[in-house]
Structure 1
Amino acid sequence: MDINPIMLVHGGAWAIPDDLAESSKIGVKNAAKCGYSILANGGSAMQAVESAVRILEDNNVFDAGHGAVLNADGDVELDAIIMDGKTLAAGAVSCIKNISNPITFARSILEKTPHTMLTGEGANRFAEKLGIARIPTKELVTEHAIQEWEKYHKYKQSVTNLFNTEKVHDTVGAVAIDSEGNVACATSTGGITNKMVGRVGDSPIIGSGGYADNLVGAVSTTGHGESIMKVTLARLVLFYMEQGETPQESADHALEYMKNRVHGRGGLIVVSKTGKWATSFTTQRMAWAGIEEGLLTYGLNPGEKFQEPPAPLI
C-alpha cells in the first residue's frame, strides 16, 4: 500500500496570549514545512521529526531549547525524546543543562548507546564526549522568562498553583509517516518556570510524552506533565486506535479520560499507520500545523482549521 508522507507538529497546549498567537502559528508552519521537505525528498520519518523539532527549539517563541524557562534555582533543565516506530527504539534525555538542541542529543542516545535515557550530570558528560557545545543560560532564555521567574519568587507562588495553571509555557513536538510507512515521534521541552530542581515531566517518558509504533501510529503530547504520566497519554491514544477508533476519536477519548480521571488538561498530535491524522487539545489554545500531499493545514483555537495551497518547500 502506497503511503503519502505526512508531517505534523505542535508548539504546546496552553493559554497562548494574543501577542504570541501569530508568531506561534508562523513557527509551527515553518517547522512543518521543514519536516515535510525531508519526507517529500524520500527522507525518513525519524529525520523529519528531529529536524522539525530543531526548528521549534531554535525559536524562542516556544518553550524548548532557546525558549526554555528557569527552574527554582534559576537554571535551565531540558528534556526530550525521539522514537522510531519501525524498531521501537527510543532515545531520551532529562534534566540536561545548556544544550541548544536536546532532540538531536536524544537521537544520539538512541544511536550511540545501549540505553534509552540519560539524565542530569551523566548526560551532560556524555554530550561533552560527543562534542556537543554547552550554551550559556542567557542564550537559552528570553527576558520574558527571566521576568516570569522573578515574579514567581517575588510573590512566592506555590508549586501547586504553578502546575495547575494553563498559563505556563509548554512542550513542542512532531510526528510523521514516511513513504515507506515508517512512523516516528519527537517531543522536547524547556520545563516549567520555577519548577523544583530535578523535576521531570512527561516529555522524555516513553508512552507519556510520545510513542511510535509502525503497527499502530505515532503520538506527541503536550500539557500538564504529571497528569499525562498518570495516564500514559501517548500510549493510551494508540490503545484506543488498536480498539478500532479513528485517530480523532482516540485523541479526543484519551484527553477526555485524562480530564475526567486526573483533572489534567493537554493536547496531542497523532498519525496512524494508514496515514490518517488528528489533533486535539483541552487547553485554551494549541499551535499546530500539518502537511499532507503538499497542503498545509494549521490552527490555534478550538475548532479552528486553516488551509494554504501547496507552496515552495523550505
Structure 2
Amino acid sequence: MKPVIVVHGGAGRIPQEREDGSRLGVTRAALKGHSILKRGGSALDAVEEAVAIMEEDPQFNAGIGSVLNEKGEVEMDAIIMDGQNLGSGAVSAVKNIVHPIKLSRLVMEKTNHMLLTDQGALDFARAMGVPEVPGEKLISDRSLERWKEYLETVSKATPTPVPVPNPTLTPNPQEVQKDLGTVGAVAVDSTGNVACATSTGGLTNKRVGRVGDSACIGCGGYADNNIGAVSTTGHGESIMKVVLARLTLYHMEQGMSPGDAADAALNSMKTRVEGLGGLIVVSNSGDWAARFSTENMSWATVKDDQLHCGISAGEIRTQSVEEALGSIGS
C-alpha cells in the first residue's frame, strides 16, 4: 500500500489576501503527515500531527486562531478516529489548550469514554499533563475583529438592547461562511490502516457550550478500514443532521468512488437541509477526493511523492514533495 494523506483548512469564503497563507498552511500540514507516513508511521500519527500543525497556525479556525463565542472566549471541539478498531476520542467546548486534537487522542487511549466536554475535558487535560495557556493566547487579531464586527452589526440592527441572536439558529446563513476554517486530515498508511482527525473553534458568537459537528462521531469525521476515512467542514448543525462523514462512506459502500460519494453526500445536505460545507476522503485503497459546496476550501494531499493543493473549484496546483519542501524553507 502506498500511503496517502489529505488535509483541509476549512470550507467557506477565503478572502484573496488570505489565500497564500491558507495554501501554505495546508501544504505544511500535508508535508508533515507525509513525512510520518514515509517513515512507516501510522495513519493515526500522521493525521494527528497534520492537524496539530494547523492548530498552531492563526490562519485557521482551530487552536490558535479559533473564533470567539458570545462572551468573547475560545471554546474548541475536536475528534480523532482509528479505522483499524473504530476507536475514537473527542473533546468539546474545551479551553486553554493549543492542541485539542492531542487531547482527543488521549481520551481515546487513556479513558473508557469517547467524548469529554468543557470542565471535565480540562480536568482530564491537567491530569494528563497537557500544557495550558491563557485564553487570550488563542485569540488572533482576525478572530477578535470578526467578533467585534458581528456585535456591531447586531447593535445597529437592534436599537433596543436585546440578547445577541445565535447565528446557529438559522439554517446555514451565508454569513456563517466567514467563520468556517475547521481543519482536518485523513490518511491511509503502508499497512492499509486509515484514520481521520478534525479540529475547530466553531462559529463566531456561538452560545456558550455549543457543540458542533467536529466532536461528533460520524459527523465531523469517521474512519473504517473496511471503507476509508472522512473529515468534514462547514455548517455544523447541517452536517449533524445528515451525519455527513458516515453518509459519504455509506455511498462508497454502495460502490461509488470517493469523489462521487463526496459529491452525493454534499448534494444531499444542500438539498435536504440547505447546508453548505466540504469534506476530504480517502479510500482504503488510496483513492482520495476533496469536495466542497461553499465558495472555497483550502486542501492539500500527498501521494506518490507529489503534492496537490487548491482553494477554488477546479483548482489543482501540483509540485513534487522535494519542490514543496524547498518552497516552504524546510
| Fold match (TM-score > 0.5) | yes
Counterpart in the other structure of 2:96: 98
Once the 2 structures are TM-superposed, how far is the Cα of residue 247 of structure 1 from its aligned partner? 0.4
Per-residue CA deviation, residues 14-34 of structure 1 (Å, 9 max, x unaligned), is 001111101000110010000
CA contact (8 A) 2:172 2:274 kept: no
Aligned partner of 2:225: which letter? N
Counterpart in the other structure of 1:187: 198
Once the 2 structures are TM-superposed, how far is the Cα of residue 205 of structure 1 from its aligned partner? 0.4
* 1:253 paired to 2:268: no
Aligned partner of 1:213: which letter? D
Paired with 1:122 and 1:213, the residues of 2 have a C-alpha distance of: 28
Structure 1: give runs of 5+ residues left out of the alignment. Answer: none
Counterpart in the other structure of 2:39: 41
Paired with 1:309 and 1:111, the residues of 2 have a C-alpha distance of: 35
CA contact (8 A) 2:180 2:234 kept: no
Per-residue CA deviation, residues 28-84 of structure 1 (Å, 9 max, x unaligned), is 001000000000000000000000000000000000000111100111101000000
* 1:203 paired to 2:201: no
Counterpart in the other structure of 1:167: 178
- Pick from 213, 226, 234: which aligns with 1:223? 234
Counterpart in the other structure of 1:129: 127
1:54-93 to 2 correspondences below 5 Å: 54-93=52-91
Paired with 1:17 and 1:195, the residues of 2 have a C-alpha distance of: 22
CA contact (8 A) 1:170 1:192 kept: no
Aligned partner of 1:185: which letter? C
Counterpart in the other structure of 1:51: 49
Counterpart in the other structure of 2:312: 301
CA contact (8 A) 2:198 2:214 kept: yes
CA contact (8 A) 2:75 2:94 kept: yes
Aligned partner of 1:61: which letter? Q
Aligned partner of residue 92 in structure 2, secondary structure: strand
* 1:22 paired to 2:33: no
Counterpart in the other structure of 2:158: none
Structure 2: give runs of 5+ residues left out of the alignment. Answer: 155-163
Once the 2 structures are TM-superposed, how far is the Cα of residue 162 of structure 1 from its aligned partner? 9.6
Aligned partner of residue 203 in structure 1, secondary structure: helix
Paired with 1:239 and 1:169, the residues of 2 have a C-alpha distance of: 25
CA contact (8 A) 2:231 2:245 kept: yes
Once the 2 structures are TM-superposed, how far is the Cα of residue 265 of structure 1 from its aligned partner? 0.4
1:282-297 to 2 correspondences below 5 Å: 282-297=293-308
TM-score where L is the length of structure 2? 0.92
Aligned partner of 2:179: which letter? V
Aligned partner of 1:218: which letter? A
Paired with 2:171 and 2:62, the residues of 1 have a C-alpha distance of: 18
Per-residue CA deviation, residues 251-299 of structure 1 (Å, 9 max, x unaligned), is 0000001000000000000000111111100000000000001100010
State the identity %: 52
Of the structure 1 ranges 57-66 and 127-136, higher mean CA displacement relative to structure 2 is found in: 127-136
Paired with 1:167 and 1:104, the residues of 2 have a C-alpha distance of: 26
CA contact (8 A) 1:98 1:134 kept: yes
Paired with 2:149 and 2:260, the residues of 1 have a C-alpha distance of: 40
Paired with 1:125 and 1:249, the residues of 2 have a C-alpha distance of: 42
CA contact (8 A) 1:175 1:184 kept: yes
Counterpart in the other structure of 1:276: 287
Once the 2 structures are TM-superposed, how far is the Cα of residue 88 of structure 1 from its aligned partner? 0.1
Aligned partner of residue 138 in structure 1, secondary structure: helix
Aligned partner of 2:313: which letter? P
Once the 2 structures are TM-superposed, how far is the Cα of residue 134 of structure 1 from its aligned partner? 1.7
Paired with 2:173 and 2:134, the residues of 1 have a C-alpha distance of: 30
Once the 2 structures are TM-superposed, how far is the Cα of residue 154 of structure 1 from its aligned partner? 2.3
- Pick from 142, 152, 155: which aligns with 1:154? 152
Coordinate RMSD, CA, aligned: 1.3
- Pick from 6, 9, 12: which aligns with 2:10? 12
Once the 2 structures are TM-superposed, how far is the Cα of residue 109 of structure 1 from its aligned partner? 0.2
